[in-house]
A and B are shown apart, each in its own frame.
Chain A
């Protein structure tokens, strides 16, 4: 699944994993730049997705009055 197809939750999880990598023992300066750029891009995508999401509100025509 490409990053674009992921849900916001999945993207947030990926971002959390990236943040954990920076704090973890696997951290290496060699990969840090690449990882940082990917994380920044992901954060922008999350913001964009959240700003674009709109609710679909349907007021039911059905009546719930006494029959």
Chain B
């Protein structure tokens, strides 16, 4: 044995090794297949991660197992290597995420069933988003395309809002923890936003696996602030989508669901004013028609009255004509004027002649 070698007691050796781990590998994401999974006292989780040639022990609490595990499942575990003075070497699990399409699908199904049974996805839990939010909290990676899409559409559609953005990872095993802390931060604010928006663009199953994290889903469910989640493309469904108060198909759709389009409102207000003109025109036309009807009715009445007067006048004239003494004379009668006494002179008027005569005899008939 060389004299330069360290000479340490077991406890000191354990401490030195752990210090070396802290310095060299403070934490790591280790990917492998789960084997020998055991949960003790409903609290402590042990399993191995293995690949073709190696196998490593993992240890953690059930609360850190944020996705359901089964033997044979491929997972990525965020952990910290540790040499325990009693249990030997293991990696202390901080969080775990399924990787690979098959494992993600299986993990999704197991967790969905569990959370569904608890009622976390019930429609009765869903809250409505504010009609016109003035203060919104956005949780996303500001580098992500999905965030850019969301902000672009939000800016184009509506204004006057206070938008607070919490930058977090949106993929990988560290993402759920950051998103949870952002949710908790907004919920603890003195002046909290009226709505929380969680957005991320499209990706493969591994990219979106963070949104199937149990703790994240529970944090969304526990949020006092209504939540809007727009993750991935239309065909993607994550558990975060299912627990959200409102689910958007994409980040762009999230902006569309959150605020109205000011261009539509401008068009609508213009249209409302334009629609008033036909109402005025219709009333003018109605009054005009009514006036025309009244005028033509009056004219008809006047004509009718005039005709009646004319007919009455003609009848009167005819009647007066009948009473004209001259008309009697034409029928051969004569008009006699003067005193009818013997010796007196009388005038006899006939149709064409007037005769002066003397009365020579007067008799009673």
Q: Which residues of A contact B19 (CB under 8 A)?
A: none
Q: B165 near A65 (CB under 8 angstroms)?
A: no
Partner of B154, one of A12, A22, A55: A55
Q: Which residues of A contact B270 (CB under 8 A)?
A: 43, 47
Q: A12 near B265 (CB under 8 angstroms)?
A: yes
Q: Which residues of A contact B181 (CB under 8 A)?
A: 64
Within 8 A of B (CB), among A1-34: 8-9, 12, 15-16, 18-19, 22-23, 27, 29, 32-33
- Bound together, the chains give a CA A31 to CA B178 distance in angstroms of 61
> B167 an interface residue at 8 Å Cβ cutoff?
yes
In this complex, the member of A54, A64, A66 whose beta carbon has the largest number of chain B beta carbons within 10 angstroms is A64
**What is the total number of residues of chain B having a CB less than 8 Å from a CB of chain A?**
40
- Bound together, the chains give a CA A29 to CA B200 distance in angstroms of 56
Q: A46 near B266 (CB under 8 angstroms)?
A: yes
Q: A54 near B166 (CB under 8 angstroms)?
A: no
Interface residues as binary, A34-53 with B (CB distance below 8 Å gives 1, 0 otherwise): 01100110110011001111
Q: A19 near B272 (CB under 8 angstroms)?
A: yes
Partner of B167, one of A18, A19, A59: A59
- CB-based nearest A residue for B168: A64
Interface residues as binary, B103-129 with A (CB distance below 8 Å gives 1, 0 otherwise): 000000000000000000000000000
- CB-based nearest B residue for A29: B283
Smallest CB separation, B199 vs chain A (Å): 14
> B276 an interface residue at 8 Å Cβ cutoff?
yes
Partner of A55, one of B159, B166, B277: B159
Smallest CB separation, A43 vs chain B (Å): 4
Within 8 A of A (CB), among B250-274: 262, 265-266, 269-270, 272-273
- Bound together, the chains give a CA A56 to CA B174 distance in angstroms of 29
> B275 an interface residue at 8 Å Cβ cutoff?
yes
Smallest CB separation, A66 vs chain B (Å): 6
- Bound together, the chains give a CA A53 to CA B273 distance in angstroms of 22
Interface residues as binary, B183-218 with A (CB distance below 8 Å gives 1, 0 otherwise): 001000000000000000000000000000000000
Q: A19 near B276 (CB under 8 angstroms)?
A: yes
- CB-based nearest A residue for B269: A43
Q: Which residues of A contact B159 (CB under 8 A)?
A: 50, 52-55
Smallest CB separation, B268 vs chain A (Å): 8
Q: Which residues of A contact B275 (CB under 8 A)?
A: 19, 22
Q: B272 near A43 (CB under 8 angstroms)?
A: yes
Q: B280 near A64 (CB under 8 angstroms)?
A: no
Given that A19-B276, A32-B280, A62-B166 are known contacts, is A56 also in contact with B161, CB under 8 Å in the complex? yes
Pairs A-B, 3 closest by C-beta atoms: A53-B159, A53-B160, A22-B279
Mark A residues whose CB is within 8 Å of B: 8-9, 12, 15-16, 18-19, 22-23, 27, 29, 32-33, 35-36, 39-40, 42-43, 46-47, 50-60, 62, 64-66
Mark B residues whose CB is within 8 Å of A: 94, 131-132, 142, 151, 154-155, 158-168, 174, 177-179, 181-182, 185, 262, 265-266, 269-270, 272-273, 275-277, 279-280, 283-284, 287
Q: A32-B279, A53-B159, A58-B164 are in contact. List 13 more A-B contacts (CB 8 A).
A: A9-B132, A19-B275, A22-B275, A22-B279, A39-B272, A50-B159, A53-B158, A58-B162, A58-B163, A58-B165, A59-B167, A64-B168, A64-B178
Write 14 A-B pairs (CB below 8 A) sorted by A numbering.
Answer: A8-B132, A19-B272, A19-B273, A42-B269, A43-B273, A50-B266, A53-B159, A54-B159, A55-B161, A56-B162, A57-B163, A60-B164, A64-B181, A66-B177
